[in-house]
Chain A
Amino acid sequence: MSLTYLEAIREAQAHALRDDPRVFIYGQDVGNFGGAFKATKNLAKEFPGRVLDSPISEDAMVGLAVGAAIEGMRPIIEMQFADFSVVGFNQIVNQAATLFWRTQIPCPITVRLPFGGTSGSGPFHSQCIEAIYAHYPGLIVLTPATVEDAYAMLLEAVALDDPVIFCEHKFLYYHLKAEKLPSEALPIGKARIAREGRDLTVVTYSAMVHEALEAAKELSSEGWEIEIVDLRSVKPLDTDTIVASVARTGKLLCVGEAWPWGGVTAEIISRVTSEGFGLLDAPPQRLNAKDTPVPYHPNLWAAHRPTARSVAAAARNLLRS
């Protein structure tokens, strides 16, 4: 058996529906159509009355989910694209994120955001907006980079009593495969060392983990050993694992597919300079998408986002500094 990242997400949802009668799925075309990316394929048939089509209103979708959560349910909301979740922003950040603080009633909703760029998708179907949600206290923001994590972390997201923004990368949907689903995983909030190294730490998450791994392979042939930290969860952020890695290497490069301004990479650098200044043997660097809307044209898109090539180039500069 071989499973893709997308199939793992479908399997996790089936698992959650099977295990917990409080779980239901709500979103545009998630029912008989099986979702825009087929992440809920056949689930409506398998779990009648629990995989429900919503109107085309992200606002209403999240609002309904918050209400259902108050009544004791555990809804999974599917956004067709992360980009559209901002239409439901008010419900997510003002209602869901603050509910427990205001009322002591937990808000166990999971909002699935298919996010990140794919070739030719343009400005409205490519955005990485994890940092915006991470900004708000009360939200958990997860960014799995592997098939195994996609499965295990989605299950854990549903089980958590806090509202979870589950960022699943569209570029990884079909490209990533695993032999089997995991039976255990690291706890939420714990980063993973995706590759061990001694010369430089790359901290990244989601699809960029794979660009970084590719870059590390290239740099390894030049004699550099790159350590890669896969954050898994951008909020909470595992500062300890990051600082421990910088303690081993002395050099930090943060890579994110999101825009640079006030983002996750900026937060990591801020933490490392505050808590581990004396560990740095070079100014910490970061590599992000260009600070422009995401272009349609495949060539422009390829130049807009960090790639293995640009990660390797940035790493080389830092290694030689």
Chain B
Amino acid sequence: MPQIPIIMPQLGESIAEANIVQFLVKPGDKVVADQNLIEVETNKATMSVTSPCSGKIENFSAELNESYTVGAVLGYIEATKEEAARLGLDIAPPKSGDSDRISRSETNGSRTRVQPTVRGLPVPANAAGASYLSPRLKARMTELGLSAADLSGVAGSGAAGRVTVEDFEKFIAHVEQQKISGASSMRVAVADAMRRSWTRPLATVGLPVQLDSVLAHRKNQNPKPGPALYALRALAIALAENSAPAGRLVGNKIVHPGSIDVGVAVEAEDGVLVPVIRNADKKSLKDLTQRYNELIDLARQRKLPADATGGSIATVTNYGTFGLTWATPIPLPEQTLVLGMGAGRKVPFWDETKNQFVPVTESNLTLSFDHRVLDGGAAGRLLQRIGELMKQPEKL
């Protein structure tokens, strides 16, 4: 049986809505056309909503003492098909899959009316959500020199948790009430580099290596190379054998390194500097040592010459100097790789030939990489190769 809506009628010019005062019938009651169903009140008078047809009251969706706009559906009447046809309301409501039916009948030529060509975009044009930044918010952040990472602490009140400009202004006002000190330009530069780097999927693999041969070799050198230089040299040799893991992904192309220039992370006041050893694959450890020590000193004094920074293809960082045994450093944004070195520790090592534990000095090597460029296997093979090279320090 068709259901005919009971609609709030136009109750006079300039009247847009009316208040429900009383229901004169109840669901289930039989009614005839033009019978008074609901008493409504406007700011001018009390009037009745009449039945559009005869039938049975199915339900009232309107509620007592609530106001409804002209044209609003107040309930439904169950009427006969004949009654519905008389009112022109015998068309079935659209069901899902209806649009398919229309297009089929269109191709049959039975439907000649023009249909809109686009029924909604395939992607949401108003993509809102937690990550959505409105043009205004972006403009405001640019004005203050902020990036999206600075908003991580703001819980948005907008749709799907997006940060609205009001949320942002409250956040800024709140920040301003707290103790504030300026971040150094170095801090800001590091922050920016790390933010850019973090836009990539990064992963880390690790491998313990025995440092005893390195330490023994080091003792006899003058000047003494730092342990990180051994790692640097091993990395340079491994990359000279196969430079692909140090390639950068740009769009659908791999950009290969032109020369094996490797940087070293040096902690300098309130930040990190990365002096670069050029062509680290072409000079021996012995030849590199003096230059390496010089650069480290210059970096600590923040006096690096311009030709000794930038343009490196990978970095070595010795977090072992802080006593750390394991870390997952982030490669510089323009690099794919960072080789980390943990603190050396005496550990028991099961010696198969002696059939007993022996004390060895062990350190963890970690390789953090851009997972878009290489996978765990390739990273693992590179790290294994570095480990092998470090077992024979005299060849470095």
A contact residues vs B (CB 8 Å cutoff): 118-120, 171, 175, 214, 250, 277-283, 298-303, 307-309, 320-321
A-B contact pairs, 14 of them (CB 8 A): A119-B13, A171-B14, A175-B14, A250-B134, A278-B138, A278-B139, A281-B135, A281-B164, A281-B165, A281-B166, A299-B7, A300-B71, A302-B16, A321-B158
Interchain CB contact under 8 A, A118 and B13: yes
Please report which residues of chain B, range 137-167, place their CB below 8 angstroms from some CB of chain A when the two chains form the complex: 137-139, 158-159, 164-166
Please report which residues of chain B, range 8-24, place their CB below 8 angstroms from some CB of chain A when the two chains form the complex: 8-10, 13-14, 16-17
Contact of B165 among A118, A250, A298 (CB under 8 A): A250
B378 lies within 8 A of chain A by Cβ = no
Please report which residues of chain B, range 54-104, place their CB below 8 angstroms from some CB of chain A when the two chains form the complex: 69-71
In the bound complex, residues from chain B placing their C-beta under 8 Å from that of A175 are 13-14
B126 lies within 8 A of chain A by Cβ = yes
Contact of B136 among A171, A250, A299, A302 (CB under 8 A): A250
Contact of B71 among A118, A282, A299 (CB under 8 A): A299
In the bound complex, residues from chain A placing their C-beta under 8 Å from that of B137 are 281
- From known contacts A302-B71, A309-B69, infer whether A279 and B139 are also in contact, taking CB-CB under 8 Å: yes
In the bound complex, residues from chain B placing their C-beta under 8 Å from that of A280 are 134-136
A214–B135 alpha-carbon span in the complex (Å) = 30
What residue of chain B has the Cβ atom nearest to residue A310's Cβ? B69
In the bound complex, residues from chain A placing their C-beta under 8 Å from that of B191 are none
A303–B68 alpha-carbon span in the complex (Å) = 13
Q: Convert B109-147 into 0s and 1s, putting 1 for each residue whose CB lies closer than 8 angstroms to a CB of A.
A: 000000000000000011010000011111100000000
In the bound complex, residues from chain A placing their C-beta under 8 Å from that of B135 are 277-281
A308–B14 alpha-carbon span in the complex (Å) = 12
**Shortest distance in angstroms between B346's beta carbon and chain A's nearest beta carbon?**
60
What residue of chain A has the Cβ atom nearest to residue B160's Cβ? A321
A164–B166 alpha-carbon span in the complex (Å) = 42
**Shortest distance in angstroms between B156's beta carbon and chain A's nearest beta carbon?**
12
- From known contacts A299-B10, A302-B10, infer whether A278 and B136 are also in contact, taking CB-CB under 8 Å: yes
Interchain CB contact under 8 A, A298 and B10: yes
In the bound complex, residues from chain B placing their C-beta under 8 Å from that of A303 are 71
**Shortest distance in angstroms between B11's beta carbon and chain A's nearest beta carbon?**
9
What residue of chain B has the Cβ atom nearest to residue A308's Cβ? B16
What residue of chain B has the Cβ atom nearest to residue A320's Cβ? B159
In the bound complex, residues from chain B placing their C-beta under 8 Å from that of A118 are 13
Contact of B69 among A278, A307, A321 (CB under 8 A): A307
A175–B16 alpha-carbon span in the complex (Å) = 13
- From known contacts A298-B70, A320-B159, infer whether A281 and B16 are also in contact, taking CB-CB under 8 Å: no
A120–B10 alpha-carbon span in the complex (Å) = 10
What residue of chain B has the Cβ atom nearest to residue A198's Cβ? B166
**Shortest distance in angstroms between B334's beta carbon and chain A's nearest beta carbon?**
30
A308–B126 alpha-carbon span in the complex (Å) = 25
**Shortest distance in angstroms between A70's beta carbon and chain B's nearest beta carbon?**
42
Interchain CB contact under 8 A, B69 and A302: yes
What residue of chain A has the Cβ atom nearest to residue B158's Cβ? A321
Interchain CB contact under 8 A, A299 and B9: yes
**Shortest distance in angstroms between A36's beta carbon and chain B's nearest beta carbon?**
17
A166–B136 alpha-carbon span in the complex (Å) = 37
**Shortest distance in angstroms between B162's beta carbon and chain A's nearest beta carbon?**
8
Interchain CB contact under 8 A, B126 and A321: yes
> Shortest 3 CB-CB distances between A and B: which pairs?
A298-B10, A278-B139, A281-B136
In the bound complex, residues from chain A placing their C-beta under 8 Å from that of B71 are 299-300, 302-303
Interchain CB contact under 8 A, B159 and A302: no
What residue of chain A has the Cβ atom nearest to residue B14's Cβ? A175
- From known contacts A307-B16, A309-B16, infer whether A298 and B136 are also in contact, taking CB-CB under 8 Å: no
**Shortest distance in angstroms between B20's beta carbon and chain A's nearest beta carbon?**
16
In the bound complex, residues from chain A placing their C-beta under 8 Å from that of B17 are 309
In the bound complex, residues from chain A placing their C-beta under 8 Å from that of B7 are 299
**Shortest distance in angstroms between B169's beta carbon and chain A's nearest beta carbon?**
10
Contact of A119 among B10, B128, B138, B139 (CB under 8 A): B10
In the bound complex, residues from chain A placing their C-beta under 8 Å from that of B70 are 298-299, 302, 307
A120–B9 alpha-carbon span in the complex (Å) = 12
**Shortest distance in angstroms between A167's beta carbon and chain B's nearest beta carbon?**
19
A119–B16 alpha-carbon span in the complex (Å) = 11
In the bound complex, residues from chain A placing their C-beta under 8 Å from that of B165 are 250, 281
In the bound complex, residues from chain A placing their C-beta under 8 Å from that of B126 are 283, 321
In the bound complex, residues from chain B placing their C-beta under 8 Å from that of A300 are 71
**Which of B16, B71, B166: most chain A Cβ within 10 A?**
B71
A45–B217 alpha-carbon span in the complex (Å) = 120
A142–B126 alpha-carbon span in the complex (Å) = 34
**Shortest distance in angstroms between B377's beta carbon and chain A's nearest beta carbon?**
46
- From known contacts A279-B139, A281-B164, A303-B71, infer whether A321 and B159 are also in contact, taking CB-CB under 8 Å: yes
What residue of chain A has the Cβ atom nearest to residue B70's Cβ? A302
**Which of A120, A299, A301, A302: most chain B Cβ within 10 A?**
A302
What residue of chain A has the Cβ atom nearest to residue B126's Cβ? A283
In the bound complex, residues from chain A placing their C-beta under 8 Å from that of B9 are 298-299
In the bound complex, residues from chain A placing their C-beta under 8 Å from that of B8 are 299
**Shortest distance in angstroms between A208's beta carbon and chain B's nearest beta carbon?**
13
A309–B70 alpha-carbon span in the complex (Å) = 10
Interchain CB contact under 8 A, A281 and B10: no
Interchain CB contact under 8 A, A281 and B159: no
Known: A283-B125, A302-B70, A309-B17. 20 other contacts (CB 8 A): A175-B14, A250-B134, A250-B165, A278-B135, A279-B139, A281-B164, A281-B166, A282-B134, A283-B126, A298-B10, A298-B70, A299-B8, A299-B9, A299-B10, A299-B70, A300-B71, A302-B69, A302-B71, A307-B69, A308-B16
